[in-house]
Amino acid sequence: MKIGIPKGMYIYEKPILFEKFFENLGCEVVYSSDTDKKLLEDGIEYSIDEACLASKIYMGHVKDLVDRKENEKIDYIFIPRVCSFENKKSICVKFFAMYDICKNVFDAKFISINIDYKEGNNEFKAFVELGKKLGFRYTNIIFAYLKARNMQKMYDLKKVRVQYDKLANLSNKQNILVVAHPYIAYDKYIGNEIVKYSQKLGANVIYACVNKSKYSSESKSYLKISKSIYWKPSINLINGIEEYKNYIDGIIYLTVFPCGPDSLVNELLIRKIKNIPSINLILDEQEIGAGVYTRLESFYDILAQKEKKVSGE
């Protein structure tokens, strides 16, 4: 059995978990292509104007797999449905609806998991139900999920260690924290281009979404910023800022237009975190070009001047 996975949105939150779950069951995983201009244009064509950039990109990834399903004999395209988490935490509504949207827009076979703690569907139950729908035995499903979950945990913890190693070994560079969801920060067409340009300007870039809070009992740092935020991905980013704030020289916020949660949370962070220089880049359907790069260059010039002032030069 061959499963197609679009490279966007919630897949970036737990990439190892999804991939290895299917592979542990003996399925072959096929990913969509990297984001590029054509893929984005395809996504825009199949999206409403009011959709955020991230969801438009995701529609482009689904279209890419739909176009390839016959030649590559893809049996199902996997789109997770994620609604709510433990402790009454939630997520943006686009994660609720994307499975149903794609199912109604595209001519293809789709499969999904339904993670909705509010309705009693935790992650474990969601994966078990998915495995049953695909026709696998219960014991094989349990083994596949637990092994994949452990591999995801090891992957996450390794990424945290790598970031701390970077902070320890590159102290002569400006340490910059990118505050963006994984599906923005790691996307080849948007966040990755900004990271590469920052590195070209001499920055040591780390990510707020990579932090210890996912597997630590001390994950309430976000309460220092706000006690009323209930979007779990936003909470993770705030925890990351709190974890790294004593190691960094500047913050780059990446907001995809017109994301509702980010437009609120990033503005709140900018107002409350005043002792660390920051820049908020709002990304839309236009290519990342001279305007964004000029703003980044100005930001790094400001950081350099600040450093000179502190050192007395």
Per-residue pLDDT tens digits for 98-148: 999 999 999 999 999 999 999 999 999 999 999 999 999 999 999 999 999
- How confident is the model over 187-207, as a mean pLDDT? 94
The distance of Cα 3 from the centroid of its chain, to the nearest Å, equals 21
Per-residue pLDDT tens digits for 198-217: 999 999 999 999 998 876 65
- Residue 153: band (very low, low, confident or very high) from pLDDT cuts 50, 70, 90: very high
Per-residue model confidence (pLDDT) at position 309? 61
Distances (CA, A) of 59 to 33, 106, 123, 262: 12, 10, 24, 20
- Residue 310: band (very low, low, confident or very high) from pLDDT cuts 50, 70, 90: low
Domain membership flag for residue 162: no
Per-residue model confidence (pLDDT) at position 168? 87
Return the higher-pLDDT residue of 11 and 87.
Answer: 11
- Residue 312: band (very low, low, confident or very high) from pLDDT cuts 50, 70, 90: low
| 143 and 269 housed in the same domain | no
| 219 and 136 housed in the same domain | no
CA 28, 58, 155, 86 dihedral sign is negative
Tokens of 183: 């599906």
The last residue of one of the domains, among 149, 182, 211, is: 149
| 101 and 191 housed in the same domain | no
Structural domain boundaries, residue 79: 2-149
| 12 and 143 housed in the same domain | yes
Per-residue model confidence (pLDDT) at position 281? 95
**Statement: residue 26 has pLDDT above 90:** yes
| 174 and 285 housed in the same domain | yes
Among 151, 116, 178, 108, which Cα is nearest to 22's?
A: 151
Number of domains in the chain: 2
8 Å CB contact between 253 and 280:
yes
Per-residue model confidence (pLDDT) at position 291? 87
Query: How many C-beta atoms surround the C-beta of residue 221 within 10 A?
Result: 19
Per-residue pLDDT tens digits for 1-18: 999 999 999 999 999 999
- How confident is the model over 150-179, as a mean pLDDT? 90
CATH number of the domain at 115, please. 3.40.50
**Statement: residue 70 has pLDDT above 90:** no
Tell me which H or E stretch contains 16: helix 15-24
Q: What percent of the chain is predicted at pLDDT more than 70?
A: 96
Domain membership flag for residue 91: yes
| 298 and 211 housed in the same domain | yes
CATH number of the domain at 288, please. 3.40.50.11900
The last residue of one of the domains, among 149, 179, 200, is: 149
8 Å CB contact between 203 and 173:
yes
Per-residue model confidence (pLDDT) at position 44? 96
Per-residue model confidence (pLDDT) at position 143? 98
Helix (H/G/I), strand (E/B), else coil: 33 = coil
The last residue of one of the domains, among 120, 149, 178, is: 149
| 293 and 195 housed in the same domain | yes
Distances (CA, A) of 29 to 6, 65, 110, 230: 11, 12, 14, 33
- Residue 279: band (very low, low, confident or very high) from pLDDT cuts 50, 70, 90: very high
Long-range residue pairs from 96-105, CB within 8 A, at least 24 positions apart, any chain? 98/9, 98/55, 98/58, 101/59, 102/59, 102/62, 102/77, 105/46, 105/59
| 131 and 176 housed in the same domain | no
| 227 and 290 housed in the same domain | yes
Per-residue pLDDT tens digits for 243-269: 999 999 999 999 999 998 999 999 999
- Ordered DSSP codes for 67-125: HHTTTTT--EEE--EEEE-GGG-B--THHHHHHHHHHHHSSS-EE--EEEGGGTB-HHH
pTM of the model: 0.93
Per-residue model confidence (pLDDT) at position 260? 87
Per-residue model confidence (pLDDT) at position 313? 57
Q: What percent of the chain is predicted at pLDDT more than 90?
A: 81
